[in-house]
Structure 1
Amino acid sequence: MSGSGSGAGGKARFEDIYDQPDPRAYFRRLAPLEYEIPQQAQGAFRRAAAQRGGGTVLDLCCSYGINAALLNHDVTLAELYARYTDPAVGGLTSAELAVQDKEFYAARRRSDTAPVIGLDVAGHALRYAREVGLLDDSFAENLEEGAPPSPRLRAAMSDVGLITLTGGGSYLTRRTFAALLEWAGRPVRVSAFVLRTVSYRPIAECLAAYGLRTVADPSRTYPQRLFTDAGEQRFAVEAVRALGADPAGRESEGRFHTVLYESVPTDTAQEAGAGSLQAGPAL
């Protein structure tokens, strides 16, 4: 759930690579920009999945299932870049690549896997992720438009124990989270890597209404990718400053940075001593 070209005076968009029959264009386009946030999130998502208390993982804006690949398989993002930019796979059809990918991921499947479902508007990307075994189910729905979740998504939410996010913090609002949590059937955690150019406060307030406490450590940031040009960097630096944070050493050095926001049921947060973490200025 992203875009192509440049947003109005702001963040570049890459829509054309997010809904192809397979992820080769995605990796070819993002490789020069050193897009790395899925790898940055791998450890955090594995820890959150281990602490979720059962249930399914729902990855928002999941596209080709990259987060699911890193969560449930012994593979790194660098290995995926190498795989999908390799000239040896350039001549394959999407169907041929999918056959090879199914074997590739099956051979690297971890023993501590979690069931993962995905939500995105990109139907082709979702189909790929299901076909190669990265997603157990998927939902091509845009809850930002105000429509309620489909009956099938509502049913799936009854078993979701963890919601993850790396690529949609600039596009999703409280509307999506409220629509999902309204149908939660068990305690849900949320683990979200969000660019410092946007405020997470409205979503955190929405999560609080559903009994979740959000914490973050603003002193620790996670690089997302290089800027596409000087204009995008100016946008990021100005946006970060407008939210009361300092771009020095981060956005001013040429990369988007994110903050990890962890939201857990209030009782769990108190038991874990999560209150020791400081809320970031964008929270």
Structure 2
Amino acid sequence: MYVQPDPRAYFTRLAPLGYEIPHHAQPVFRQLAAERAAHDDGRAGVPVVLDLCCSYGINAALLNHDVTLAELYDRYTSDTARRMTSARPAEWDREFYAERRRPDALRVYGLDIAAPAVRYAREAGLLDAGFTDDLERVPPGPELRDALGEVGLITLTGGGSYITERTFAALLGQVRRPVWVSAFVLRTVSYEPVARALAAHGLHTTTDVSRTYPQRRFTDERERRHAIEAVRALGGDPSGREEEGRYHSVLYTSRPSPMR
């Protein structure tokens, strides 16, 4: 999906699965971004949001524009979208998002190894900057290193299965502002290694494991069984959640420790 030049295939593929975690993240990220900006200790400029595994800029679209995830599904699976040539969607979307831009919109940078998705998000005006550095394998390049000096909030939805503490350590090793992290992570994945990496950089992570957020339906019974086994292996209870046919995520919030 992420190798396509625009998000039409992405939404068409995920619509039958009811992928919804960006919807749950929308109010959380808006509130946390506002809180983070209010706590910026007199530094010049409002801190930038860095969205990890940003794909086509969906979180940026929901953060900075008066639009819902349901409206985006309708838009990108519509007859109009299906008939459009691949050269048109970014132009079509620039006007759409410009008309819905919130007055409190923040600068958002995106990081994803899927270059076509990042390119689209930039062309559509959703990202102020986009990067494709694979921090699981290499350190940040010079452009990303420079950009990290402006970042005050790091967000993540759905990418916890693909990136590890290596990515977070690489990012936090280059930041120059106090950074907060807000991550929605599947219950099939342990966040402990990431939390330890964040703690090494002075961040304290909190979560409420009793509250979960539905992510999407399973594609088949095999995926369901695998998820149930993974949740149990991590000490979780899949009853009422994964056993009912959907992935569920937990929200982790990390802020500088009080002594910092």
TM-score bracket relative to the smaller structure: over 0.9
Alpha-carbon separation, structure 1, partners of 2:75 and 2:144? 32
Aligned to 2:140: 149
Pairs within 5 Å for 1:72-87: 72-87=64-79
CA contact (8 A) 1:57 1:160 kept: yes
Instruction: Report the CA distance between 1:268 and its aligned residue.
Output: 8.5
Select 1:159's aligned residue among 150, 159, 162: 150
Residue by residue over 1:81-124, the C-alpha shift from the partner in whole angstroms, topping out at 9 and shown as x without a partner, is: 00000012212122212111100000000011110000001111
- Residue 207 in 1 paired to residue 191 in 2? no
CA contact (8 A) 1:19 1:63 kept: no
Instruction: Report the CA distance between 1:155 and its aligned residue.
Output: 0.5
Residue 114 to residue 268, structure 1, CA distance change in 2 (3 Å)? farther
Aligned to 2:85: 93
Alpha-carbon separation, structure 2, partners of 1:87 and 1:203? 42
Aligned to 1:66: 58
- Residue 133 in 1 paired to residue 102 in 2? no
Alpha-carbon separation, structure 2, partners of 1:94 and 1:20? 9
Aligned to 2:100: 108
Matched to 1:95, the amino acid is A
Alpha-carbon separation, structure 2, partners of 1:260 and 1:95? 37
SS in 2 for 1:144: coil
Select 2:7's aligned residue among 23, 26, 30: 23
Matched to 1:44, the amino acid is V
Matched to 1:50, the amino acid is A
Alpha-carbon separation, structure 1, partners of 2:87 and 2:47? 31
Alpha-carbon separation, structure 1, partners of 2:49 and 2:68? 19
Matched to 1:213, the amino acid is H
Instruction: Report the CA distance between 1:21 and its aligned residue.
Output: 0.4
The runs of 4+ residues in structure 1 deviating greater than 6 Å are none
Aligned to 1:120: 112
Alpha-carbon separation, structure 2, partners of 1:44 and 1:19? 28
**Root mean square deviation of aligned Cα:** 1.1
CA contact (8 A) 1:35 1:224 kept: yes
Select 1:197's aligned residue among 188, 197, 200: 188
CA contact (8 A) 1:170 1:195 kept: yes
Aligned to 1:4: none
Alpha-carbon separation, structure 2, partners of 1:105 and 1:37? 21
Aligned to 1:8: none
Alpha-carbon separation, structure 2, partners of 1:66 and 1:87? 20
Identical aligned residues as a percent: 66
Matched to 1:99, the amino acid is E
- Residue 52 in 1 paired to residue 44 in 2? no
Select 1:41's aligned residue among 25, 36, 42: 25
- Residue 187 in 1 paired to residue 171 in 2? no
- Residue 243 in 1 paired to residue 259 in 2? no
Aligned to 2:244: 253
Aligned residues: 252
Unmatched segments (≥5 aa) in structure 2: 38-45
Unmatched segments (≥5 aa) in structure 1: 1-16, 270-283
Alpha-carbon separation, structure 2, partners of 1:148 and 1:218? 32
Residue by residue over 1:214-235, the C-alpha shift from the partner in whole angstroms, topping out at 9 and shown as x without a partner, is: 0000110000000000000000
Matched to 1:97, the amino acid is P
Matched to 1:82, the amino acid is D
| TM-score, normalization by structure 2 | 0.95
| TM-score, normalization by structure 1 | 0.88
Alpha-carbon separation, structure 2, partners of 1:148 and 1:229? 37
Alpha-carbon separation, structure 1, partners of 2:179 and 2:224? 35
Alpha-carbon separation, structure 2, partners of 1:81 and 1:24? 9
Residue by residue over 1:178-231, the C-alpha shift from the partner in whole angstroms, topping out at 9 and shown as x without a partner, is: 001001110000000000001000000000000000000011000000000000
Instruction: Report the CA distance between 1:267 and its aligned residue.
Output: 2.0
Alpha-carbon separation, structure 2, partners of 1:95 and 1:88? 14
